[in-house]
Amino acid sequence: MRLHFTLLVCLAAALSSAVVTSPINLWTKLILTQQWPKTFCSSEPCQLNVSYWTLHGLWPDKGEFCNSSWHFNSTEIEDLIPDLKKVWPDLLNPSSFHFWKYEWSKHGTCAAEAASLNSQHKYFSKALEFYQKVDLNSMLQKANIIPSDKYYTFSDIEQAMENFYGVKPKIQCLHPSMNSEFQTLGQIEICFDADFALQDCEKHFATNTLSRGQWDQNKSSGLSVCSPDIPVYYPPTS
């Protein structure tokens, strides 16, 4: 009887431990976030002139800074660095790894809770894969939505993207001052489910800041979902 009781106690302890360590809040969505450099650089001292959409990050919908002991190591992604420098550049300091280090610490360590992304190489590779898959630059060009001094309606951009991808993106703008007649296109999020299939983005997902210089202070930059009623300015790079 005593042996039976002891076994029950051990089993209960094991089950309790399993519950504590299981990933109860594992993410269910990945947000591929791309930024328009001209808009970003309108308020930042950029050191790189880029005329195409660049990666801002690949963000799981749950968690931030999930493993402070899992430090960024550039040697693990050495083969990816040429592509990362092109499509995921640090516009403020092109020779630095700080941007990737920050994104890995804040978002990558949380994405890595899934076995499919459980290394730095898998995480950054998947971001590059998604970037090529959605090919936002070509998609907008094909829809005749190009950087120019003309204004677009929000529905022009949203509908073109929905028609092409079959899902609803999240389109963010830098909002105007009191008397401005337009909002400026700044950032676009395209979402994937846990199996890496495209899915609708929720417009109420928390807005990330535009300025990486403001990240640590956790201040808002003014980027949020574009208003459907205000003309959208897609600024040319020159």
Distance, CA of 119 to CA of 126 (rounded, Å) = 11
Mention every residue, 6+ apart, whose C-beta is less than 8 A from residue 18: none
- What pLDDT is stored for residue 43 in this prediction? 86
- What pLDDT is stored for residue 180 in this prediction? 76
- What pLDDT is stored for residue 21 in this prediction? 33
The active-site residue, picked from 4, 78, 98, 103, is 103
What confidence category does residue 202 fall into, taking pLDDT thresholds of 50, 70 and 90? Answer: confident
Between 44-53, 177-186, 200-209, the lowest mean confidence (pLDDT) is in: 200-209
- What pLDDT is stored for residue 221 in this prediction? 53
* 9 has a pLDDT exceeding 60: no
Structure tokens at 212: 């990486």
Q: Is 4 a catalytic residue?
A: no
Distance, CA of 186 to CA of 211 (rounded, Å) = 11
The active-site residue, picked from 76, 107, 129, 181, is 107
Mean pLDDT throughout 113-125? Answer: 97
pLDDT tens, position by position, 228-237: 999 999 999 8
Mention every residue, 6+ apart, whose C-beta is less than 8 A from residue 165: 134, 139, 190, 198
Distance, CA of 85 to CA of 122 (rounded, Å) = 17
Contact 136, 89 (CB under 8 A): no
- What pLDDT is stored for residue 113 in this prediction? 95
% pLDDT > 70, the chain: 81
Contact 48, 87 (CB under 8 A): no
| Domains annotated on the chain, with CATH | 30-202+219-233 (3.90.730.10)
Q: Which of 5, 11, 33, 105 is nearest to 64 (CA)?
A: 105
Q: Is 103 a catalytic residue?
A: yes
Structure tokens at 155: 């529905």
Task: Tell me the CA distances in angstroms from 184 to 1, 42, 203, 230, 233, one per residue in order.
Answer: 74, 10, 17, 10, 5
Q: SS3 of 60, please?
A: strand
- What pLDDT is stored for residue 59 in this prediction? 98
Q: Is 78 a catalytic residue?
A: no
* 214 has a pLDDT exceeding 80: no
Average of per-residue pLDDT values in the chain: 85
Contact 179, 191 (CB under 8 A): no
pLDDT tens, position by position, 12-70: 444 433 333 334 468 999 999 999 999 999 989 999 989 999 999 999 999 999 999 99
Q: Which is higher by pLDDT, 174 or 178?
A: 174
The active-site residue, picked from 56, 71, 76, 78, is 56
pLDDT tens, position by position, 102-117: 999 999 999 999 999 9
Q: Which is higher by pLDDT, 222 or 154?
A: 154
Contact 234, 220 (CB under 8 A): no
Instruction: Supply the DSSP string of 156-186, one letter for each residue.
Output: HHHHHHHHHHSS--EEEEEPP-TT-S-EEEE
Contact 153, 233 (CB under 8 A): no
